[in-house]
Amino acid sequence: MIHLVAVGLVARPILEFLALVLEDDLAMTCAISPHRIDVSDAYDPMRQQYHSSRILAHLVERENDLLLPSAADPPDQEKILGVADVDLFIPILTFVFGQAQLGRRAAVVSVYRLRQQFYGLPEDEALFLERCEKEALHELGHTFGLVHCQNYECVMHYSNSIEQVDLKSNRFCTACARLLPGPPFQAQMRLRGNRL
């Protein structure tokens, strides 16, 4: 099961959209947690951004509160995805779209830089939601142990600009898909016509 958690103030329709598409993309149940993570202590006034590692630590610390009861998926496939609408950073980078625990349970993604308006362009809701889906899949892919992929069309390709987000697809390449959890995911991919 994927547990979506609001990090700070994030619009409910974004969470509802991600719950729908991630269930289909990963062939896993997906639920929106009733809890919300407070991000106030992750704010860095010098950078005017939020430290994503601190937010990730909060998700891990509150793991037991955030997980909803589920009998559908094995414990090692229980994932927590925090969804934020604030600008995230780690000290060595100007910003990050998200951050995840490699091969573990928690990840956080920010929608802040995924809107066209951030770049001074007219609003495009469909493009914004497509970007949200890609970055959510990317961070969840890390929690399943996937690293960055060299295939620029794979959703696991590294993105440090919005152009790179738009260039990649919302699908895992064949090599990355093989590393995702078992039969349910592979069956879903076959139904879509993807080759495994």
DSSP 8-state assignment for residue 116: G
Q: Which of 78, 133, 135, 139 is catalytic?
A: 139
User: Cβ(58)–Cβ(37) under 8 Å?
Assistant: yes
The yes-or-no answer on residue 78 being catalytic is no
Place of tokens 């949200």: 132
Strand order in the sheet with 43-44: 43-44, 49-51, 88-89
Instruction: Please check whether residue 30 is in contact with residue 4, taking contact to mean a CB–CB distance below 8 angstroms.
Output: yes
Q: What is the DSSP track for 51-74?
A: EHHHHHHHHHHTHHHHPPP-SSS-
Closest CA to 156 of 128, 133, 134: 134
Note whether 136 and 121 are within 8 A (CB): no
Q: Are strands 88-89 and 98-100 parallel, antiparallel or unpaired?
A: unpaired
Name the DSSP class of 163. H
Could you list the active site residues?
Answer: 139
